[in-house]
Amino acid sequence: MTAPDQDTHWMHRALELARRGIAVTSPNPAVGCVILDRSGQVAGEGWHEYDLVDHAEVAALKAAGCPILLSEVEGPAVCQFAEWVGTDTANRLKGGTAYVTLEPCNHTGRTPPCTQALIAAGLGRVVAATIDPNPNVAGHGMEAMQAAGIEITIGPCEKEARRLNEGFARWSQHQRPFVLMKVAMTLDGRIAPPAGHHQVREPYWITSEEARAAVQPLRWKADAVMVGVDTVLADDPMLTDRSGLRRRRPLQRLILDSALRMPLDCKLVNTAQSDVAVFTVSNNQARIAELRARGVRVEILPADAGRVPLDRVLDQLGSEGILTLLTETGTRLNTALLAGGHVDRVHFFVSPQIMGSDAVPAFKGMPASIPMADVEVERYGNDLGLSSLLKDPWPPTQQP
């Protein structure tokens, strides 16, 4: 294998490891690391899980037999490394290579800097798929390792690595969640039949079972899912993550309800377990008390033309550590979110049917067209999935 091919090969493996951290790292990024010894053989692998504390690089070093303790990485780690230089593990790692999906950190947070652990281990090269998007961190980790004499490379599998942590990139720079808009619609852009053709508070399925099953991984990867009260009144959804996959934090289920019209006997209220929140501009204290008594969090915000202010909602979610917000809203909120520039990525599930102009549109009154580039296309049974990034949350690549 050529050197670039080898970098791609091992970065693909690091990405496989990083994906094990999906839904268990937030509000941290999902990161994977592969460490090769001086002969090019795998010495250790690791990935990050928030509750296990260790970052991917330290987990991989420990798997490789490196005795550097997390609490000793700053300062004493160098002394400890000197004590095990003569060991077989140290000799194997000296001059080895680390492949990591995100630039190693060079600051102290919940853990000491991973850069110091990699330097102390005597590695000769570090390959990162992408820089850290945090403006207070970006590039500094690679600079620190380069100053210590480590050869560094940035860029293999960058697109895949950035896709994995779009939420972290948006949140770390702007303290707001990455907004993924999901819409299930017909070929003519309709999301529900005309009035009178749908039983109220019962779901009306536009797409196939295969397409509906594909929504669950989107919920699994998100920290929160949001609808408007009109969707609650029409469909009475539960909005739960039914993927069956492991997650660290419960999926937050959010409703925008300016006048607090959400029925007290709806599924969201009946299943609330500190995971349902209503954003409103109403000050109806009796209704607020009823919702709170049923375990629903109620957030009162200042009105924006009588509506719940989307900017304030996104700011608050960011302050709560919500990295990715999945929206499954109706006509008005779909339009408001797109027109307001709040949507980062769209995922449309398109059913090959035509409902006609009397049916409910996905969007109405858009002030301007929104072009989509690099559209990803998938097939779910007879339906199509179309995904496109509208706003790239990542800063440009920097080479130190």
Rounded Cα gap, residues 160 and 172, in angstroms:
19
Cα atoms in the Cβ-side hemisphere of radius 13 Å centred on 68: 35
Q: Which of 49, 57, 72, 103 is catalytic?
A: 57
DSSP string, 43-79: EEEEE--GGG---HHHHHHHHTT----GGGTTTHHHH
DSSP string, 99-159: EESSPPP-S-SSS--HHHHHHHTT-SEEEESS----TTTTTHHHHHHHHTT-EEEE-TTHH
* Partners of 98 in beta bridges: 35, 126
Determine how β-strand 125-128 pairs with β-strand 97-100.
parallel
Cα atoms in the Cβ-side hemisphere of radius 13 Å centred on 165: 33
- Determine contact, residues 362/327, Cβ cutoff 8 Å: no
Supply 192's token pair.
Answer: 């529900």
Alpha-helical regions (H) of the chain: 3-19, 56-63, 76-83, 88-93, 114-120, 140-147, 158-164, 166-174, 209-221, 229-235, 267-270, 285-293, 310-319, 331-339
CA distances from 130 to 33, 102, 162 (A): 13, 5, 7
Phi and psi for 392 in degrees, rounded to 5? -75, 120
Is 57 a residue of the active site? Answer: yes
Rounded Cα gap, residues 375 and 387, in angstroms:
6
Active-site residue set: 57
